[in-house]
Structure 1
Amino acid sequence: MKITLVTVGKIKERYLEDAVKEYTKRLGRYCKLEVIQVADEKTPDGAGEAVVRQIKETEGKRILSFIKDGAYVIALAIEGNMLSSEELAETLRRLGVEGAKQIVFVIGGSLGLSQEVMKRADYVLSFSRMTFPHQMMRVILLEQIYRGYRIMMGQPYHK
Structure 2
Amino acid sequence: MRVLLICVGRLKAGAERELVTRYLDRAKAGGRALGLSGFDTIELSESAARRPEDRMAEEGQAILGALPQGADVIALDPRGKNLTSEAFAERVRTGRDGGRPAAAFLIGGADGLSEAVRARCDLMLAFGAATFPHQIVRAMLAEQVYRATTILAGHPYHRA
Give the TM-score normalised by the residue count of structure 1.
Answer: 0.91
What is the CA–CA distance in structure 2 between the aligned matches of 1:122 and 1:130, rounded to whole Å? 22
What is the CA–CA distance in structure 1 between the aligned matches of 2:69 and 2:152, rounded to whole Å? 27
Contact persistence 1:73–1:104 (CA under 8 A): yes
Partner of 1:98: 98
Partner of 1:154: 154
What is the CA–CA distance in structure 1 between the aligned matches of 2:15 and 2:144, rounded to whole Å? 18
What is the CA–CA distance in structure 1 between the aligned matches of 2:89 and 2:72, rounded to whole Å? 15
What is the CA–CA distance in structure 2 between the aligned matches of 1:67 and 1:80, rounded to whole Å? 20
Q: Does residue 111 of structure 2 align to residue 111 of structure 1? A: yes
SS in 2 for 1:28: helix
Partner of 2:81: 81
Contact persistence 2:151–2:158 (CA under 8 A): no
Residues 1-159 of structure 1 aligned to structure 2 (within 5 Å): 1-29=1-29, 30=31, 31-32=36-37, 33-42=39-48, 51-159=51-159
Give the TM-score normalised by the residue count of structure 2.
Answer: 0.90
Relative to structure 1, is the Cα distance of residues 88 and 158 closer, same or farther in structure 2, using a 3 angstrom cutoff? closer
Structure 2: give runs of 5+ residues left out of the alignment. Answer: none
What is the CA–CA distance in structure 2 between the aligned matches of 1:85 and 1:75, rounded to whole Å? 16
Q: Calculate the aligned-residue CA RMSD, in Å.
A: 1.4
What is the CA–CA distance in structure 2 between the aligned matches of 1:22 and 1:107, rounded to whole Å? 19
SS in 1 for 2:78: strand
Structure 1: give runs of 5+ residues left out of the alignment. Answer: 45-50
Contact persistence 1:110–1:133 (CA under 8 A): no
CA positional deviation for 1:158: 4.8
CA positional deviation for 1:17: 0.9
SS in 1 for 2:40: strand
Between the aligned residues of both structures, percent identity stands at 36
